[in-house]
Amino acid sequence: MEKPPVSNADYIVPAKIDIDPHVLAGKLTGSVKIGIGIPDNAAALAGSSVRLAVNGKDVAAEIKKDAKGYQVKADRRAFVQALAGQTGEVEAKIAIVSDTGSAFVGTDTVIVKTESLTLSVRGDDSVKAGEEFSLSYAVNGAGDSMRELNLNLSYDPEVLEFVAAESAVKQLNFSAEAGQPGRVTVKASGTSNQLFNKETLFTVRMKAKETEAARSEVAARDIVYANAKKERHAIADAVHAINLFFEAREIAVSGEGGASAIDSNRGTLRLSAQVKPANANQSVTWSVYGLDGEATELASITPDGLLSGNSKGLNGQVKVIATATDGSGVTGELTVDISNQLQALTGSLFGAEPAWAAGSEYDKAFDGDVNTYYDFKNGAGGYAGMDLGEGAEARLDQVRFYPRKGMEVRMVGGKFQGSNVSSTEGFVDLHTIGEQPAAGWNTVNVSADTAYRYIRYYTPETGNANVAELEFYAAPAASDLMPE
Ligand code: CA
């Protein structure tokens, strides 16, 4: 025989209580659902309203029946407040009393996370001197209510200026008053909904003064809030750093170590630009011109300011110009003397064949690529050179060469030679490489006193004529030489 239903308030029916979500944190808006599993023989939860008590504290709630059974919905904030002061895994005791007086009790374990409240600030982090910027503030967190928020904004009054502060939150009581220089007192009061977890609670407009300061900050300090119980709590400072910049007004150009000359063949000079004031964008573009402002072949410059001489034997003065990239159009310049540049010789190439392997023929010593090299099939007898042509004989003044990488030793004993007979005969030694050359570019001053048509590099016994690059330079014609 079936048991009669249990249906009056004298009975407190144990129920299976399921609180959803299980983690109570984050925003205080939203609802908490409590699923109730009741014994088969209990009376139905009749009625349109319900009284919910969590940990003995009343929480407004409503009850609905759906496919899963009975669901009680409670306001999340009220629910969290009923658990106030507890953190971590908490056993929440819940009692539900229906209109008809049926009472159900149960417990569930929930994780209560109380986060400390934080004041966040966002806004421009790079501001041009003389211009306004704005910062947006908000208070976020969980686990408490808020009725009032007070804080002080502090900043360097020499660098920054307070313009105004305002809140777009409806009916919020908000004020911001400038006090002593560099200080603004901000006050806001209202409901938790108005103060709390807003995307923006208030904005502050500031102006960067026209100073040379490169960096400054706006700090929200002495932040205190009062909750619904009028308890006052502190919140950590919120500091916003700002980079300040000015338009370029002047550019000083200088050479490394104070130098303003390139006085060796194919020499280089590292240039630097100091843009003033100091908080201006320091980036510049480099260009080089003749003193007349026209394009020049005397020197060239890389995007990062490395000035190089020429391979045409041209000497004289150039004007190096640094132009600000901030749109100000400001420039700075330096005059650089270019001297001792030599004429790179050109002609038809010749050399000994065959190569050790395809791709390492003698022309690889003249292709402008330090990674390719000449590698003759035999250890001895290899050579690579240049026929300057009939009537174009030149006095070899300097050789620049770049050994095959890692094979520098193969050039010890190698010779630079000149001939006026043919590409295979009549060669005279002009210079012998006496010791292991450096990895990278090497310069040898030959200073030949005779002009030759055929110029070549000749390998030592076991060198396979290895060399990555060869550059031959002519001495200036006698008529070009200035008397000492
Ligand atoms: Ca090469």
Per-residue model confidence as pLDDT tens digits over 238-278: 999 999 998 899 999 999 999 999 999 999 999 999 999 88
Rounded to whole angstroms, the Cα distance separating 246 from 257 reads: 28
- Shared domain for 350 and 294, answered yes or no, is no
Ordered DSSP codes for 13-60:
EE-EEEEESSEE-S-S-SEEEEEEE--TTBPP--SS-EEEEETTEEE-
Q: Examine the fold and report which residue of 341, 371, 394 is the final residue of a domain before the chain moves on.
A: 341
336-366: pLDDT as tens digits: 999 999 999 999 999 999 999 999 999 999 9
Residue 297 alpha carbon to ligand 1 centre in Å: 24
- Shared domain for 270 and 320, answered yes or no, is yes
- Shared domain for 213 and 318, answered yes or no, is no
**For the chain, what is the mean pLDDT?**
88
Contact at 8 Å (CB) between 415 and 432?
Answer: yes
Domain enclosing residue 356, as ranges: 344-478
- pLDDT-wise least confident of 143-147, 186-190, 246-250, 318-322: 143-147
- Shared domain for 137 and 165, answered yes or no, is yes
Residue 61 alpha carbon to ligand 1 centre in Å: 85
Residue 459 alpha carbon to ligand 1 centre in Å: 16
Could you tell me the two tokens for 459? Answer: 């390998």
For residue 264, the domain's CATH number is: 2.60.40.1080
Rounded to whole angstroms, the Cα distance separating 236 from 141 reads: 12
Helix (H, G, I), strand (E, B) or coil at 193: helix
Residue 409 alpha carbon to ligand 1 centre in Å: 17
42-74: pLDDT as tens digits: 556 655 467 788 877 888 888 777 777 778 888
- Shared domain for 42 and 78, answered yes or no, is yes
pLDDT (mean) for 399-425:
98
Amino acid at 417: Q
358-372: pLDDT as tens digits: 999 999 999 999 999
Is 304 part of a structural domain of the chain? Answer: yes
The domain tally of the chain equals 4
- Shared domain for 353 and 462, answered yes or no, is yes
Contact at 8 Å (CB) between 57 and 79?
Answer: no
Contact at 8 Å (CB) between 56 and 49?
Answer: no
Rounded to whole angstroms, the Cα distance separating 78 from 54 reads: 10
Helix (H, G, I), strand (E, B) or coil at 190: coil
pLDDT-derived band at 234, boundaries 50, 70, 90: confident
- Shared domain for 99 and 17, answered yes or no, is yes
Q: How far apart are the first and last CA of the chain?
A: 134
Residue 298 alpha carbon to ligand 1 centre in Å: 25
Is the pLDDT at 100 greater than 90, yes or no?
Answer: no
460 preceded by a cis bond (ω within 30 of 0): no
Residue 380 alpha carbon to ligand 1 centre in Å: 20
**What per-residue confidence (pLDDT) applies to 80?**
72
Could you tell me the two tokens for 242? Answer: 């700002």
pLDDT (mean) for 224-248:
88
Is 3 part of a structural domain of the chain? Answer: no
Listed in sequence order, the residues at least 6 apart from 58 whose beta carbon sits closer than 8 Å to its beta carbon are 51, 52
- Shared domain for 197 and 219, answered yes or no, is yes
Rounded to whole angstroms, the Cα distance separating 145 from 195 reads: 9
pLDDT (mean) for 168-177:
95
Residue 343 alpha carbon to ligand 1 centre in Å: 20
Residue 402 alpha carbon to ligand 1 centre in Å: 8
- Shared domain for 323 and 352, answered yes or no, is no
Helix (H, G, I), strand (E, B) or coil at 279: coil
Q: Closest Cα to residue 110, out of 236, 39, 23?
A: 23
Helix (H), strand (E) counts: the chain = 2, 39
- Shared domain for 390 and 473, answered yes or no, is yes
Is 40 part of a structural domain of the chain? Answer: yes
H/E stretch holding 76: helix 76-82
For residue 454, the domain's CATH number is: 2.60.120.260
For residue 166, the domain's CATH number is: 2.60.40.680
pLDDT (mean) for 212-220:
93
Is 483 part of a structural domain of the chain? Answer: no
Residue 465 alpha carbon to ligand 1 centre in Å: 13
Listed in sequence order, the residues at least 6 apart from 8 whose beta carbon sits closer than 8 Å to its beta carbon are 43, 101, 102
Residue 367 alpha carbon to ligand 1 centre in Å: 5
Q: Examine the fold and report which residue of 204, 230, 245 is the final residue of a domain before the chain moves on.
A: 245
Give me the percent of the chain exceeding a pLDDT of 90: 64
Q: Examine the fold and report which residue of 341, 360, 392 is the final residue of a domain before the chain moves on.
A: 341
Is 484 part of a structural domain of the chain? Answer: no
- Shared domain for 211 and 320, answered yes or no, is no
Is 6 part of a structural domain of the chain? Answer: no
Could you tell me the two tokens for 372? Answer: 């390719």
Is 75 part of a structural domain of the chain? Answer: yes
Is 192 part of a structural domain of the chain? Answer: yes
- Shared domain for 287 and 350, answered yes or no, is no
**What per-residue confidence (pLDDT) applies to 87?**
67
Q: Closest Cα to residue 313, out of 387, 384, 395?
A: 395
